[in-house]
Structure formats: C-alpha cells, structure tokens
C-alpha cells in the first residue's frame, strides 16, 4: 500500500486536549503533521466524526496551541485512537505548529 501524504508526519508524544460537543477529552498525540494528528485517549465514550478543537502543548515555548479540525475516524482498542484533520490552514495556531515542525527538521 502506498501512502500519499502532503505533509511530513512526526512521531512524538505530546499532551493534547480534544474539545468536542461540550466535552474536554485528554489524550496524547502519537504523531502530528501540518495536516493533522493521531491521538490516543482513555475516554470510553464514542467520539463522533465532526468538527473539533485540539489544544496541544508542543513544547515549553509553544503551549496551549489551539487548532481546529475534524475527526476523520476513531479506532477502539486498549485506548481509543482518533485521527483529526486540521481545517484552518491560515490560523495563528497552524502558523505556530508549522514553525514548531520546521524546527524538528533542523
């Protein structure tokens, strides 16, 4: 299977909070790119596909970075994996994320 991605993906564990339908769901980022992220959470209820806000602490310098996106899919298992695609490419949070990711290459 060939994966076609527009953005480089970085495996890194980062604290994440997913805000959806009035709920705050804590989790951990498994991988992140300028296009989206995959997170793992112990939240036991089903997370519906749809619009969400993700707040991620990228580093001590880049804390509480808010990104808008939509849940593409979730997968239950030991924890629940949630794939989120970012939807606001021109937001301040997205610019912060892109700056952070560009520093990971160097």
Using one digit for the tens of pLDDT, what is the confidence trace for 85-98? Answer: 999 989 999 999 99
Using one digit for the tens of pLDDT, what is the confidence trace for 55-104? Answer: 999 999 889 999 999 999 988 877 899 999 999 989 999 999 999 999 98
Rounded distance between C-alpha atoms, residue 12 and residue 37, angstroms: 10
Q: Which domains does the chain have, with CATH numbers?
A: 10-105 (2.40.10.220)
CA atoms within 13 A on the CB side of 25: 24
Model pLDDT, residue 4: 57
- Which residues are registered as beta bridge partners of 83? 38, 73
- The residue whose two tokens read 């296009």 is 35
89-94-97 Cα angle (round to 5):
140
Model pLDDT, residue 74: 86
């Amino acid at each position: 299977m060939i994966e076609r991605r527009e953005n480089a993906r970085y495996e890194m564990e980062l604290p994440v909070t997913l805000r959806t339908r009035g709920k705050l769901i804590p989790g951990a980022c498994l991988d992140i790119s300028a296009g989206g992220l995959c997170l793992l959470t112990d939240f036991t209820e089903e997370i519906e596909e749809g619009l969400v806000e993700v707040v991620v602490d990228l580093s001590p310098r880049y804390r509480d970075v808010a990104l808008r996106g939509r849940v593409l899919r979730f997968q239950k298992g030991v924890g629940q994996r949630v794939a989120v695609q970012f939807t606001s490419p021109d937001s301040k949070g997205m610019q912060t994320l892109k700056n952070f990711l560009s520093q990971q290459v160097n």
